[in-house]
């Protein structure tokens, strides 16, 4: 079974982060994603 899970890469510490492990905080009704390791918001989707 193949999961359609997004994978993110942190531009700050170069960590690979799975969708279930990425940090999120709700700001003004929108979710902002961040790296759980270095708290950088500079992450990008690389798979998914």
Does residue 20 fall inside a structural domain?
A: yes
Does residue 21 fall inside a structural domain?
A: yes
Q: Which domain holds residue 20?
A: 7-39
Total domains present in the chain: 1
For the chain, how are helix, strand and coil distributed in percent, rounded to 5? 0, 45, 55
Tokens of 21: 């492990």
pTM, 2 dp:
0.80
Of 1, 41, 48, residue with least CA distance to 22: 41
pLDDT score at 44: 96
Give the whole-angstrom CA distance, residue 38 versus residue 27: 19
Q: What letter does residue 44 receive in the DSSP assignment?
A: E
Does residue 47 fall inside a structural domain?
A: no
Does residue 2 fall inside a structural domain?
A: no
Tell me the pLDDT band of 1, cut-offs 50, 70 and 90: very low
Tens of pLDDT, residue by residue over 8-46, are: 999 999 999 999 999 999 999 999 999 999 999 999 999
Does residue 1 fall inside a structural domain?
A: no
């Amino acid at each position: 079974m193949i999961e359609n899970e997004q994978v993110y890469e942190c531009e700050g510490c170069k960590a690979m982060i799975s969708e279930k492990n990425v940090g999120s905080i709700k700001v003004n009704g929108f979710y902002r994603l961040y790296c759980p390791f270095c708290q950088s918001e500079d992450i990008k989707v690389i798979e998914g």
